[in-house]
Amino acid sequence: MGLFDDDFYSTKVSKRLTRRSNTDSSRWSSGTKRRKSLGTFQISLICSVLSAVVAVALYTWIASPPSRTQAGALSGSFLHKTDNDPYERIVQAAAKVRPAVVSILNHRDESSKVAPDDAALGSGVIFKKTDNKAYIITNAHVIANTQDLEIVTVDGDSRTATVVGKDTVSDLAVLEINAEGIKTVAEMGNSKALRLGETVIAIGNPLGLGDTLTSGIVSYPNRIIPVSLNQDGVYDWEQEVIQTDAAINEGNSGGALVNLNGQVIGINTMKISDTGVEGIGFAIPVSDVMSTVNNLIEHGKIVRPYLGVYSLDLNNPYAPLSEDQRKDLKLPPDIKDGVLVLEAHGPAEKAGIKLNDVITKLDGKPVDSTLALRKYLYDVKKVGEEMEVTLYRGGKEETVSVTLTDKPTEDSDADSQK
């Protein structure tokens, strides 16, 4: 008996067939051929051929999907292949904002007008257009010590720019140009909504290579870094910035950091460049940029309270006081931190603050550095307010009252004053 009681698998003739009527005996007689069944090899061959045909059909469908019209007629679920390209959004974002990004040539002397390669380079972003004027955001250091500013658009059109206002503390400036021919104004985004790892692109004029695009991610959305405003090695301000690994080189300053919607979310401002350090760039968040820019357009400067002192940190590591100098100040042994006055002007001078006074408190709150003094002034106080300044003079503690005024128009000297 076979292993299976089934006609298909049994190697014997079923007994049920032999029991049928004699009229069918001729059909099932031993001398008559039985109907042939397919062998194992034939079945395998047929299955292989069918599988190959199905595989080719599927590959053809995937590699060459139907057009939007065909897909809509079938199921409406297939998109054009470029919509699935992850880099297509970068292309579209760049195309949207590129015409609003300009190159800036800062001709600091007459020779650079003759030889443009000698001009200081930077970038800018057209963010506003009214009547016959267009306004450009850039960095304050890009236009420092300028005699003549030349703007070059993405189309190669060159025109002269004038400075509306600048602010060294925030490193921002606004320029004005003739709006004739300017068709694109950058759209500002929301830098507060940035996420760690979000894709961004930087557009600017690095190394004089105008209209350059680089891409990267947001390495950190709100990094706080110390800044030395007069490049003396002493940190006297803190700047909130967007950290990115998009390549930012000399000349990129003032250019746009853009999200994948083609919105400007930052103004590129600085880059750490040192041995073994790569891929660290910074941009000022656009949420901070616009409040500063609007004030620059309205007032030509940022209105901040002004004390009127040149100062040096008592514990400055780059210019430490000698033992003899400390003895001359006659400070008590427990006074290790404070702000040493080098010059007094304006409100400070009127209040009687003098050379070699050591400021230790403002309104009773300890002040241990120039950075702390400046942040208290700008973040807490307002123009016209009184401020109590506690200081040591000749070894004795004194307190004077200062009426704060508006900071004078910025120049190379005023930038170092508080």
Active site residues: 141, 171, 253
Instruction: Please report, as a single letter, which amino acid is at residue 311.
Output: S
Q: Say if CB 405 and CB 383 are below 8 A apart.
A: yes
Q: Say if CB 210 and CB 103 are below 8 A apart.
A: yes
Ramachandran category for residue 412: left, alpha or beta (phi over 0 → left; psi -120 to 50 → alpha) = alpha
Other CB atoms within 10 A of residue 51 CB: 10
∠ CA 301-236-169 to the nearest 5 degrees? 20
Residue 139 to residue 252: CA distance in whole angstroms: 10
Among 80, 351, 369, 102, which residue's Cα sits nearest to residue 212? 102
Q: Say if CB 289 and CB 137 are below 8 A apart.
A: yes
Q: Say if CB 187 and CB 259 are below 8 A apart.
A: no
Positive or negative, the CA dihedral 303, 304, 305, 309 is negative
Other CB atoms within 10 A of residue 258 CB: 32
Phi, psi of 128, rounded to the nearest 5 degrees: -155, 145
DSSP per position, 312-357: EETT-SSSPPPHHHHHHHT--TT----EEEEEE-HHHHHTT--TT-
Residue 67 to residue 73: CA distance in whole angstroms: 10
Q: Say if CB 398 and CB 377 are below 8 A apart.
A: no
Instruction: Please report, as a single letter, which amino acid is at residue 244.
Output: T
DSSP, collapsed to helix, strand or coil, labels residue 204 as strand
How many Å is the maximal CA-CA distance in the chain?
139
Q: Say if CB 237 and CB 226 are below 8 A apart.
A: yes
Residue 312 to residue 103: CA distance in whole angstroms: 37
DSSP state of 65: P
**Residue 381's beta-bridge partner residues?**
none
List all residues 6 or more positions away from 320 whose beta carbon is below 8 Å from its beta carbon: none
